[in-house]
Amino acid sequence: MKPIVILTDSAADIGESYRQPLGIEMVPLKVMFGEDSYLDGVTIRAEDFYVKLKNSAVVPTTSQPSPAEFAEKYKEIVDRHGSDVQIIGIFLSAVLSGTYQSAVIAKSMLDGDIDITLIDSRKASFAHGIVAVEAARAVQAGKSKQQVLDLIARLLDEIQVYFMVDTLEYLQKGGRIGKASALLGSLLNIKPILTLDSSGTVAPFERVRGSKKALNRMLEELKAYAKEDPVKVAVVHADSRDAASALMERIKTEFRVTESFVTDIGPVIGTHAGPGTMGCVMFRDLQQT
């Protein structure tokens, strides 16, 4: 069987402890504090980023990998796995970043006939990261390329994503606020619950007064989705590990959780979401039904 390699970007927020054993390849985005440039998840980690974000007078910005950087990664994969390798790339929502487009341009730059399939996830952070993890597991289980692509398509259609931010300031400054701009100027202590719509745009779900009610509302919506089915779930957070761990413990008591993840929102997504962001990613574990 031809080898299959799963490729993603650093905005998938997959820790090395998952990426390396599963053979997931990653191309980093960049975070800039003024003239200082860092590779997301490579030369700056989440914990250092949030310290810098809080103490810096400079508002950070982000940029996608260049087509040349993607082309170099494709060549590295071919050199490592052979010319018959099949590459499946799962990338950050094209509405939020030019990363997917860079990957597409890079494919057209290559000499030779390399089997590369590129997917706009229409998701962000571990919402597309968990899909890359599941795809890589399917590869290790011996699934064919088409079987892996079918799995990816199902998960991207099914995944539920809800998150709340401390403030819409970072989304607004970074130009990623999307349809959530309707929530600007909300009353004091209103916590907007956001989601990603079918196009991959940040969209408002509901406005709730206070963090506790916002978390309750997110879980209520996830219960309506999951019902009594077994689920895999991730809690993603921006510099709020204790609160994220506590939320996961609660989720485990209220849902049939077959696998759980508590993950950091990395520097690139954290630049736009801001510290204190908390989110839930969930899908049904069909292998257990």
- CA–CA separation, 280 and 222 (whole Å): 9
User: Residues 236-283: pLDDT tens digits?
Assistant: 999 999 999 999 999 999 999 999 999 999 999 999 888 889 999 999
To the nearest whole number, what is the mean pLDDT of the chain? 91
| Strand pairing class (160-164; 190-196) | antiparallel
Residue carrying the six token digits 């539920």: 160
The pLDDT of residue 70 is above 90: yes
What's the maximum distance between 2 C-alpha atoms anywhere in the chain?
58
Query: Which 8-state DSSP code applies to residue 40?
Result: B
Domain 160-288 class? alpha beta
How far is Cα 69 from Cα 36, in angstroms, rounded to an integer?
19
Q: Label residues 37-63 b or e (16+ Cβ within 10 Å = b).
A: ebebbeebebeebbebbeeeeeebbbb
Dist CA 283 CA 259 (whole Å): 11
Say how many residues make up the chain.
289
The strand pairing partners of 193, in sequence order, are 164, 206
Q: Which CATH number fits domain 4-29+64-158: 3.30.70.660, 3.30.450.20, 3.40.50.10170, 1.20.1730.10?
A: 3.40.50.10170
Instruction: Tell me the pLDDT band of 177, cut-offs 50, 70 and 90.
Output: very low
φ, ψ for residue 124 (rounded to 5)?
-150, 160
Secondary structure (DSSP) of 199-244:
TS-EEEEEEEESHHHHHHHHHHHHHHHHTTSEEEEEEEESS-HHHH
Domain boundaries defined on the chain:
4-29+64-158, 160-288
Contact 160, 222 (CB under 8 A): yes
Taking only the tens place, the pLDDT of each residue in 191-229 is 778 899 999 988 889 888 788 999 999 999 999 999 999
| Model confidence at 156: pLDDT above 80 | yes
Q: How far apart are CA 172 and CA 44, in angstroms?
A: 23
Q: Can you tell me the distance from the alpha carbon of 270 to that of 278, in angstroms, rounded to the nearest whole number?
A: 11
- pLDDT value of residue 185: 46
Q: How confident is the model at residue 171 (pLDDT cuts 50, 70, 90)?
A: low
